[in-house]
Each structure stands twice: as C-alpha cells, then as structure tokens.
Chain A
Amino acid sequence: MVLAAETAEALSSGWFLENAWLIPLIPAIAFAVIIGFGKRLPQGGSEVGIASMTASFVLACGATYQWIQRVHSAEGHGEEGALGVARGFAQTVLPRASEEGGHSLPYVEPVIRNWTWWQNGGLELTIGQHIDGLAIMALLLVSFISLLVQIYSTEYVKGDRRYTHFFAALTLFSAGMLVMVLAESMVQFILGWEIMGLCSFMLIGHWWEDRANSEAALKAFWTVRVGDVGLLVGTAIIYFGASEWAQERGSNGFSIQAISGWAMSNDASQTVLLWGSVALFIACIGKSGQFPLHTWLPDAMAGPTPVSSLLHSSTMVVAGVYLVARLYPVFFSGLDILDSGVNLIAVVGGITIIVAAALAFVQNDIKKVLAYSTVSQLGYMMMGLGVGAWTPAVFHIWTHAFFKCCLFLAAGSISHSASHHSFDMKKDMGGLRKFMPITFATWMVSTAALCGIPFFSGFWSKDEIIDNAANNNYTVFFVVGLVGAVMTAAYMTRATYLTFFGEPRGAAAGEHHGDDEHAEEHELEVATVGGDMAGHGAVLADADLFASAASGSGDDHGHDGHGHGDHGDGHDAHDEPHESPPRITVPLIILGFLAVFSGYLLAPGAPFKTEYFLEWVEPRGVEVDDVVFTPSGEASGHDETAEAIVADGLVIGTGGFGRAAPLPTAESGEGDKGELTGCGFDKPTDGICFAPKVPHAEFKWSKAMISIALVFFGIAMSAWICLGVYGGRKNPFAGLTKRSRVANAGHRFLVNKLYLDDLYEKVIVRGIAHPIANAAYWVNQHVIDGVVDGAGRRTRKTGVWVYKNVDQRVVDGAVNASGTAASETGHALQPVQSGKVNQYGALLFGAATVGAIVLILTNV
C-alpha cells in the first residue's frame, strides 16, 4: 500500500483513468437492456443506447482530462528529477536527454488494471484495461462518433420495423470497439474484434429481406473472417515467442505491454517476430479493407447509412490500423520498419491508396465513392505506419473519423430528404446545393478536409504522413502519397460536382424515375409492410423486373430504402428535395466543425503551439529500468510475488508494470534518419523499451507546397473533366470512353473492380472449393456410403440371427418358463388355501414348531 501511494504521488492518476473499463461496460449492459426491454420503452430502446453512449463519452472525456494531467505530471517529475535522486526508487527520471533539447519526453506509464478472466493450465487469461495515449484517443473518438451516429439514427431509421434491434446492434458494436480499444491482453483484443465482426454482419444485413443486402453482410463477414485467421495465428505465434520473457517478469505472453517490451528486447527472435507480424497484418488487411481484401467494404454500403458511417469510417475498419499501432513494436521489429527500404505494411498500404482511389472514379453510388475513399485513406494510415510515421498515421485516424463520418452522414441526409432513398449520383442527384444548404456546407468542409486543402484537418494529418515518408527515405511511398492526394482531390471533386452542382436530375428534380415503378413499389410496400415476410423477397424481385422493364434502364442499384417500410410517412414528403430535420443536421454541423478544427491538435504549420497530439498520444520510445511486474494488482492475490519484489527493492505500480525510471538514452537529432539510435534501433542492454523511437519530419511550408499544388491541380483537372463529361461542355474529355478504346477498356476494368470479385468468386472459390466439393462428393458416395451401407447390411444380418436364436429361444424361453413354473406351483399349492381358519392356524403352528425344532437343533 505504501508503494502504491508512492506511485500515485509519482504519476497522477484518477478515478476516470482507473475506471476506464466502465466505458465499454456501460454500452454492453445497455445492449442487454435494449434487447430485453427495448420494445416496451417509449422510444423503442434508442434512448437507452443514446444514454449509454453519452455516459461512455462523459467517462472518456474525464479519462482524457486525467490522462493529460498524468502526462504533465510525468513531465513535471522529469524536470525535478535532477534534484530528487534521493527519492530512491520511486520515479527518478534522469533528465540528461531533456537537457540536450529536442522532444525527449519521459516515459508515461500506462494505467493498467486487470482481472483474471479464466485460468487454463496454470495460465491466467486476463481482462482489463491498458490506458495510454492511443487508447485514450480511440476511446474519446469512438464514444463521441457513436453518440452522434445514434442521435442521427433516431431520425434516419425512424419507423423501421427492426428499430430496436438496430439500436441494440449499434450499441453492442460500440461496446465491442471500446473493449478492443482498451484491451489489456490479446485475448481481450480478439474478443472486441470479434464482437465487432458479428455486429457488422447484423448491421450491414439490417434489411436482410433484400437478397443483395444479406449477401453483402455475408461477404463482409466471411472476408473479414479470412483475415481473422491471421489474428488467431499471429496471437499464438507471438504468445509462444513472448511467453518466456513475460513470465520471467510475472506477466504472460498475451499481455500487450509484455509483448511490446519483448518485441523491443534482445530476447525476441527475429523469425518469430517476422511471422507473427505478417500473420497479424493479414488480420489488419481483412479488417481494414486493405488490398486485396478490400472488396467487402464497398459492398457493405448495403447497410443503413448510419451504419456505414459508424462502421466504415471511424470504428470497425480502423480496428486493423489500431492493431498495428497498438502492437507497433512487433511490426517495427518484425518487419524492419525504418531499417529496410521496403516492407509489407507500406507496400500494401501504398497499393491500397492507388487502387481504391482509382476505383472511386467510376462509382455512381455516392456511398461507394465514400467507401473507396475510406479504403484509400486507410491505405494512407497503413502506409504511414509502414514508413515509421506512427504519430501522423494515428493522427489521420483521428481527423479522418470526423470528416469521413460527416461525409457519410451527409450522403445519408441527401438520400433521406432529397433523392428519395437513392444513392445514385448520376440519376437522382445534382444541383442539391440550393435545397440543402447545411448538408452542402458540411459536405464541402469535409471534402476539403479529405482532399487535404490547407487549414482543414485532413491537410495536417495527410501531409504529415507524406512528409514523413520522404523524411524516412521512402521516396517511392512519398510519390505514392502524392499521387493518392491528387486522385483523392479529383474523385471527391467529381462526386461533389455530380451531387451538388449542375442541373437536378431524377429524384432530386422532384420526379420519380419511372412513375410505374413507384406506383408499383408503393403498392408493394403497403402490401408487405407488416405482412407476409416470406413472400416479400419474391414479390420485390418481380417489382425489380417490372421496374427495369418500365424505366428501360438496367442499372438499378443503390435504393436501400425501397420496400423496407422505413419511410412510412408516404412519398409525398419526398417529392421536393428539402433540408433534413435537426436530428440529422446537428450531428452534421458538429462533425463539420470538427472536420476543420480537429487538425489543430497537431498542426505544426500553424502560428500557435499545436503539437498536443505528439505530447499526449505518442508513446515515448524511452528505455526504462528492467523490472519485475505483476500481471495483476487486483483480484488475484500475488502477495508472494509482491513481497519478493519489495525485497528486491523494486517498486510496483497500482497494477501492471512497475514504475520504472527512464535510463538516460542517447537522443538523435530530429528528422535525421542517418543517426537514429535508441529504442528500436539499438536493442536495450539493461532496460526495457515499450515503443520504438520514431523520427519526426520537420514541417516546412516549402515542402507542403508540393502537395498543396498537386491537390489544387487535381481539383481543377477533375472539375474540368466533369464539366466535359457530365456538364456537356466541349472539351477533349467529353465522350472519351466512346472514342478511345484504351480509355474504354480502362474504364471497364475499373467498373469491374479490377475483376477482383471475379477472381475471388470464380477462380479462387471455384478453383479451390469446387474440386474439394467434388472430391468430397466422391468420397461421400464411394467411401463413406460404402462403409455405411456395409455396416448396415452386416448389422441387419446380425440382427436377424440374434432375433431367431437369442431373442426367440433364450429370452422368450426363459420368460415363458418362469411364467409356467409360477402357474404350476400356484395350482399345486391351491388346496392349502382352504379358507378354514383352523387349518391356517394348524399350518402356522406346525411351521412354528418346525422352525423351533430347527432353531433348537442348530443351537444345541
């Protein structure tokens, strides 16, 4: 206890930090409440969801505040450490490095608490919290975005037939993400990861009556599952690698902090790290929609728009990036980031940027443009992590969440209020800026942030990634980043043009695309809402046939609202495009505001100090004393260990790692890769590193001007092309695909999504699955059926023999014989029962006499 108090004095903590585990617990309980009682509540359970997210957000805010206090307290101690050597073991920071200048900040110990989840063969699997800057950032982000999305959803899915289930799944989804974010061990990480996988399936397939939606949900689920195998394998590899090192220090190989320390240590085997990081990265490819497993993400747009916004901009797909950022020491050492010219993460991220951006050009569905944009931006994050730009990549998670969520919600707002539940930019949008000023304004702000126009949030994060790629001598990825920036600017200009500029088309112009279609669907809706679910799909299929025949256009995708009874207020309200109600616009305005200003946590080009993100979030690559740490200060009684530690004169924290004093480390000059030393470059000799020391590029407007110029070039070029292709102006691009075969082939290549879906479904699935299926069928017919048939025949023969011999003769014989014997005995003894009491008495006493005689004879 004394030691704990000392530690508390050393580093400030607080109730919110110590109890951050409540943040995911509240939504998890809320999920159970909504599922159990939601339908009986006046708001159908949505109020429970919103209340729980509000509570989580408040707790996350408190934790954030206390974390910042903690960082400051660590730095304060760092300064007075020179005077306080006499303080002994507790928190002595040797300040040599900070005297030398630069950003040599002291190590800030994460707030770790854990409880034993279950025990297996002497191994304690723990569940708990690991709160550091990264977790704090993600907690704040996830709870905030979830809250806004839930508020938005109360309007967007109003009247939906599975309204309660929708909110239940949203809440559980947020809980899953939060569990994963503050995971203390890899087992807990997997738990949160899988909860999200399940909930994404439920939410994408929310309108499962439509076959396309349920297929998209399955595709998302299975594609991510492919990657999840990597997560399990990677966790196992890392566990066996790190187990010994961790157990020597009283932890186990699942603990994230132990893994981090092990990966940076001398004891880590390079082979184990390599294969472990590759396996884990496969999981990230699946979850974060990286090339080549990105195909599920655009299809997942089949879900309701709030779902797309929550899952596919800021939470679920970020999980993969988060995993890399969380276990960065593993990837850093395993893949030789910064040490080798090229590595897997950077390559996959770079390919993803370009491929996804190219695909975004040919989408007609506004949500699919955003989906590919998300894939592309995730590529940026991955590439940033791959080139050693940890902080910019994580910062990009932060900024991207706000502006991409805003873009998705704006798309939903358009479909909700202006384009009659269509997401087709070419057919049903155009000229909407006059009708929806708020949506338009927030969209424009977020687009500017996404494109990387200066002073918007995306500029600061994306430019940092590109800048650091160059600074770390990854020239190829520097170019890839720039090309990606141009393409981003261009496709977003195209989407903006098609949606908000030009002449209103289709539903946006107040007309329905084919009155027959609508009359038909309206009737169907009336007929099917609250009606026969089984017939629903079939009837809808007929309606689609009829509709395409009537309107004469085959391309009919993107109507996620139709026939689902989610707009029971009739079609009259949708005849004219109009602005959305406040519950949609208020979240949009908040997010639009943040799309501008969230970047100022790390905006080195700004005239005032903004490098808070660097200070609060980045783990410090500082070598600390090698300590024995107990995995749990809480429930499991490790008194002996604790005593041993005290006897050794070491200090234990309030759970988790012992508080350790940073050793003096040689600091490198900022932004100079050639002289890099310290954690991650030299193996720690007598201490532990928990994070690699990553270099930071110095921001210069002269460097940023390259990307700024390219972005504006992309916008201008795209606007010019759009005017030619869609606006009817005369320029060389008008009708290019009709005139040039090369351009047409390229266009078709992109429209078909690089034929990756065909590759997966027709080549890989058929090529692998069909022979396996055929072989299995043959084995089934010949081997298994033969065995089964043979066994059956043999059994039948045996049965007949047993029936004849054993059953009929032995068993029946015995039964009959005993019956006969009893009957005969009864007949023989019948005369004794004369009914005469005197005879009975005589028998009784005769028997008694005989008995007495026998008794006497035996006893004499």
Chain B
Amino acid sequence: MLAVNFLLLSAALFCFGVYGVIARKNAVMVLMSIELILNSVNLNLVAFALMNDNIDGQVFALFVIAVAAAEVGVGLGMVLMIYRNRRSISLDELSEMKG
C-alpha cells in the first residue's frame, strides 16, 4: 500500500533523526536531526490524513512546520550564544545542567 510506504519512510527518517540526536556532538547537527524527527512526524500526519480522508492531519502538519521553524530559530540563537561564550559548539563540553 501507498500508506505503508509513507509510514516506512517516516520510520526511517525518525530513526536517522534519533541517531543524530544521540550520536552527534555538533549542536547544529543535533538541531538538524530534530528537524528530521519533526518532518518524519509530519509525514506520518499527512499519511494518516490521506488514509482517513480527513484534512485535519494536513492542517496540523502545517502547524508543526511553523512551530519547527520557530524552534529552529530559538535553537540556532542559543547555539550562536554558546559559540560566542565558549568558542565551541561541541555538546560534549557542555555539562552545566549536571544535577
């Protein structure tokens, strides 16, 4: 089925994203991985909307794209500030949140 292909693609994208978030040291790469995850979710939403013949999922996907844009904006801003303070964007060196 067409929908299964969509879902498989989405699952693959999700796995890449998760791998990137966990394994990458570069903050920008992590952000991009998060984008992958979000887009995999978008793909899921659109696929299910198509399957159920309901427009709600597609509308919701549009919202997610808008929120993702904002999120990336904030994330890149934070990364920029971290770079200015520490001259590095390596996540290994950041452990200020240690409890």
Is A834 a contact of B22 with CB atoms below 8 Å? no
Q: B37: shortest Cβ distance to chain A, in Å?
A: 9
Is A833 a contact of B98 with CB atoms below 8 Å? yes
A836 within 8 A of B: yes
A842-B22, A845-B18, A845-B22 as given contacts; A837 in contact with B91, CB under 8 Å: yes
Which B residues are CB-close (under 8 A) to A798?
A: none
Is A845 a contact of B98 with CB atoms below 8 Å? no
Chain A 829-860 interface mask (CB, 8 Å, partner B; 1/0): 01011111110111001000000000000000
Chain B 72-97 interface mask (CB, 8 Å, partner A; 1/0): 00000000000000000001101111
**Taking each of B21, B25, B92, B96, which has the highest tally of chain A beta carbons within 10 Å of its own beta carbon?**
B21
Q: B98: shortest Cβ distance to chain A, in Å?
A: 3
**A780 and B42 alpha carbons, distance in the complex (Å):** 86
B66 within 8 A of A: no
Q: Which of A801-849 contact B (CB under 8 A)?
A: 830, 832-838, 840-842, 845
Is A841 a contact of B98 with CB atoms below 8 Å? no
Q: Which of B21, B24, B30 contacts A845 (CB 8 A)?
A: B21
Is B91 a contact of A835 with CB atoms below 8 Å? no
Q: B3: shortest Cβ distance to chain A, in Å?
A: 18
Q: Which of B18, B23, B92 contacts A836 (CB 8 A)?
A: B92
Which B residues are CB-close (under 8 A) to A841?
A: 18, 21-22, 30
Which A residues are CB-close (under 8 A) to B97?
A: 833, 835, 837, 840
**A840 and B18 alpha carbons, distance in the complex (Å):** 12
Q: A846: shortest Cβ distance to chain B, in Å?
A: 9
Chain B 3-35 interface mask (CB, 8 Å, partner A; 1/0): 000000000000000100111110000100000
**A439 and B99 alpha carbons, distance in the complex (Å):** 104
Which B residues are CB-close (under 8 A) to A830?
A: 99
Q: Which of A833, A837, A842, A845 contacts B94 (CB 8 A)?
A: A837
Which B residues are CB-close (under 8 A) to A836?
A: 91-92, 94-95
Which of chain A's residues has its CB closest to B99's CB?
A833
Which of chain A's residues has its CB closest to B92's CB?
A836
Is A835 a contact of B18 with CB atoms below 8 Å? no
**Taking each of B23, B24, B99, which has the highest tally of chain A beta carbons within 10 Å of its own beta carbon?**
B99
Q: A143: shortest Cβ distance to chain B, in Å?
A: 85
Q: B48: shortest Cβ distance to chain A, in Å?
A: 15
Which of chain A's residues has its CB closest to B30's CB?
A837
Which B residues are CB-close (under 8 A) to A840?
A: 97
Is B23 a contact of A838 with CB atoms below 8 Å? yes
**Taking each of A834, A841, A842, which has the highest tally of chain B beta carbons within 10 Å of its own beta carbon?**
A841
Is A838 a contact of B95 with CB atoms below 8 Å? no
Q: Which of A832, A834, A842 contacts B95 (CB 8 A)?
A: A834
Which A residues are CB-close (under 8 A) to B23?
A: 838
Which A residues are CB-close (under 8 A) to B22?
A: 838, 841-842, 845
Which A residues are CB-close (under 8 A) to B18?
A: 841, 845
**A845 and B99 alpha carbons, distance in the complex (Å):** 20
Is B99 a contact of A835 with CB atoms below 8 Å? yes
Which B residues are CB-close (under 8 A) to A842?
A: 22
Q: Which of B32-82 contact A (CB under 8 A)?
A: none
**A830 and B22 alpha carbons, distance in the complex (Å):** 20
**A845 and B20 alpha carbons, distance in the complex (Å):** 12
**A842 and B18 alpha carbons, distance in the complex (Å):** 8
Which of chain B's residues has its CB closest to A833's CB?
B99
**A299 and B86 alpha carbons, distance in the complex (Å):** 102
Is B21 a contact of A835 with CB atoms below 8 Å? no
Which B residues are CB-close (under 8 A) to A833?
A: 97-99
Q: Which of B24, B25, B30, B94 contacts A835 (CB 8 A)?
A: B94
Which of chain A's residues has its CB closest to B95's CB?
A835
Is A835 a contact of B92 with CB atoms below 8 Å? no
**A836 and B21 alpha carbons, distance in the complex (Å):** 12
Q: B32: shortest Cβ distance to chain A, in Å?
A: 13
Chain A 334-362 interface mask (CB, 8 Å, partner B; 1/0): 00000000000000000000000000000
**A836 and B95 alpha carbons, distance in the complex (Å):** 5
Q: B91: shortest Cβ distance to chain A, in Å?
A: 5
Is A838 a contact of B21 with CB atoms below 8 Å? yes
Which of chain A's residues has its CB closest to B27's CB?
A837
**A741 and B96 alpha carbons, distance in the complex (Å):** 118
Which A residues are CB-close (under 8 A) to B21?
A: 838, 841, 845
Q: B40: shortest Cβ distance to chain A, in Å?
A: 13
Q: B27: shortest Cβ distance to chain A, in Å?
A: 8
The 4 closest A-B CB pairs, nearest first, are A833-B99, A835-B98, A835-B95, A841-B21
17 A-B pairs with C-beta separation under 8 A: A830-B99, A832-B99, A833-B98, A833-B99, A834-B98, A835-B94, A835-B95, A835-B96, A836-B91, A836-B92, A836-B94, A838-B22, A840-B97, A841-B18, A841-B21, A841-B30, A842-B22
